[in-house]
Structure 1
Amino acid sequence: MRTQLQIDAPPGPAAPPVPEKSRLPSLTGLRWIGAMLVFGFHVGTMGIMADEGPRTLISRVFGMGLSGVQFFYILSGFVLVWSFRPGEKRMTFYRRRIVKILPNHAVLWLAVILLVGVWWGDPVNPVVAVVNLFLVQAWFPANGWFYSINTVSWSLSCELFFYLCLPLVLPLIRRLPAWALYAVAVALPLLMLVAIWPGQLLVPESWRWWFTQVFPVVRSLEFWLGVVAAELSLRSRWRGPGLPVSLGVFAAAWVVCSNEWVPAVMWPTVLAVAYIVVIAAAARADVENLWSPFRNRPLRWLGEVSFAFYMVHVFVVTGVLRAVGQTHGYSGWAGLAASLGLFGLCLGSAALLYRYVEQPMVRLLGPRRPRYLRPSRAS
């Protein structure tokens, strides 16, 4: 029996019954794992380490860390459907999502403009800057547009597109029978493979990286995979393995894709399957109070600040390296020490951004929580 009832909610699309334990702390903890995959990848590509040996090791471990963004997209689709409020007005949903991402984005946008454009005097294209500020840069395939200002904000441009689409598509998804949802869940990873090859052959060669890695329509395939899996989970129709086996599936997928004999075009499809299996299993573990290594308090806090961490890490690392004149990285143990020091600086900056920007702005600009009435004992 529910402990609270919502009132004054306008009619909306029918939704499946939500399991009693609707909060998913394990998925919050998993957000940090995704952030670390991306950070590890950038440690190997942003010139922190000068020696070939350490860079090769990092590349071996985190060579597919860029797929952490893929993990975030799948997780985002799952969480948004799981937490979707039946009867919520469309504009209220949009407002809740935009105030979650826009303040952090605006702060980092301004910081980059002031540091790079004003302090260091690098040229900044004003049109590109405006396009970036309004988070539409991922729709522009030209170099210097989609990776601009705070370069990681390209992913927010995709997320904004997903947010706009979800309330329009979710009523249709919730009318689909379970067999159709399973068909979609199988088709989406295959469509990812088709989009990468031969789909990229349909666009000019100079646009192929943008088409496969940035284009919001292509990247939305990952988001919709999370959406469909969440809908099946809400209906108690998801039939994936438990969390221990799912983690084994992910580890095996990571090892297999790390081998050179596996074509790179296969990575997104294989990892998408591994990611959604883990996400759905972690959600089930929370609902059924099963074992999960991701719901402890430190990891949940790290998950809460993971978005801020993702937003600051490239800006902090590149800014510090340029400020101290180490554009070619550090040699020997100094490279490892610098990586750990920059990690700590990024985490500290993320904690400040989360505490003094993200949380206050969500409280100030976000919609009020719906009013609730506590039912009588007779209910």
Structure 2
Amino acid sequence: MGLSNVTLTQSFIPIKELYFSFNGPSWSISCEAFFYLCFPYLLILFNKLGKFKYYLTAILASIIIILTNYISPNLQHGLFYINPLFRIVDFILGIVIYDLYINLKNQKTLVDFTILEFLSIAIFVLFFSLRDSVTDTSLYSIFYWIPIMTIILIFAFQQGAISKILSHKYAIWLGEISFGFYMIHHLVMRYFILGNGKFELITNHYLIIILLFTITVIAAAASHRYFETPLNRWIRNKN
């Protein structure tokens, strides 16, 4: 268990007690490390393939869709949602979206991006409202591809009213600490529940939510300022 966490390979093993061990959200770091290792090779391959990279992406996406019908239910969450070998299709879709963005960026179009931003959010809300009508396997894998790809592509242009709001310095700051928030929140919840369950200091659920949120934001802000930022600066200086 400890070795898989240290080497960031826990997400390759479709056993819940392993990929959610220590700090549950760290499974995603395992995936990201694998994606970053693959990224240079994917760029080389895509440059060689040219337009055929879209066909390759479609084939890989189709394979995921087909496999949802054949993988054992006991392994579906550990594979479709967690395993990097399956989730790399999401990463590749992100590369394709970026390629599409670059191709569209320099084209002059009479488009109201505010309408598109609201529309992309509406599409996501629509899909979210239909989540109970699809299988868990679809939710783990393919169901949110369309709404998320739409949101990423449209908001990448940063030309709508919502983008302007998100460009405010406080919104940017929240975005900067969001990774730390994600990584810390599970630990805060786990140890607070253990301590509060033992001593029963707070019983009001709303107060608990506010307290947990506040603690996590403060911890995430401290992590960003005193760990992430200095480490990023040190890495850049080394390069």
Shorter-chain TM-score bucket reads: 0.7 to 0.9
Q: Distance in 2 between matches of 1:200 and 1:246?
A: 36
Residue identity matched to 1:300: I
**1:365 CA displacement:** 3.4
Q: 2:230 aligns with which of 345, 348, 360?
A: 360
Q: Which has the higher helix share?
A: 2
Match of 2:33 in 1: 160
Can you give the 5+ residue segments of structure 2 that lack an aligned partner in the other structure?
none
Q: Which has the larger radius of gyration?
A: 1
Match of 2:220 in 1: 350
Structure 1 278/305 Cα, relative in aligned 2: closer, same or farther at 3 Å? same
Alignment of structure 1 residues 139-288 onto 2, 5 Å: 139-178=12-51, 180-184=52-56, 186-187=58-59, 189-195=61-67, 197-201=68-72, 205-236=73-104, 242=113, 244-259=115-130, 260-267=132-139, 268-285=141-158
Identity among equivalent pairs (%): 25
Q: Quick check: 1:188–1:225 contact (8 Å CA) kept in 2?
A: no
**1:190 CA displacement:** 4.1
Q: Distance in 1 between matches of 2:133 and 2:43?
A: 39
Greater mean deviation of Cα atoms: 137-146 or 275-284? 137-146
Q: Distance in 1 between matches of 2:37 and 2:168?
A: 33
Match of 2:170 in 1: 298
Structure 1 134/352 Cα, relative in aligned 2: closer, same or farther at 3 Å? same
Q: Deviations over 1:85-125 (max 9, x none)?
A: xxxxxxxxxxxxxxxxxxxxxxxxxxxxxxxxxxxxxxxxx
Q: 2:211 aligns with which of 335, 338, 341?
A: 341
Secondary structure of 2:144's aligned partner: helix
Q: Quick check: 2:117–2:160 contact (8 Å CA) kept in 1?
A: no
1:131 matched to 2:4: yes
Residue identity matched to 2:197: G
Structure 1 147/238 Cα, relative in aligned 2: closer, same or farther at 3 Å? farther
Using CA pairs under 8 Å that are at least 6 residues apart, name the structure with larger relative contact order, 1 or 2. Answer: 1
Q: Quick check: 1:189–1:272 contact (8 Å CA) kept in 2?
A: no
Residue identity matched to 1:309: F
Q: Distance in 2 between matches of 1:143 and 1:256?
A: 27
Q: Quick check: 2:80–2:86 contact (8 Å CA) kept in 1?
A: yes
Q: Quick check: 1:141–1:210 contact (8 Å CA) kept in 2?
A: yes
Secondary structure of 1:236's aligned partner: helix
Q: Distance in 2 between matches of 1:342 and 1:163?
A: 32
Can you give the 5+ residue segments of structure 1 that lack an aligned partner in the other structure?
1-127, 370-379
CA RMSD between the two structures: 2.9
Q: Distance in 1 between matches of 2:133 and 2:169?
A: 40
TM-score, normalization: structure 1?
0.54
Residue identity matched to 1:227: I
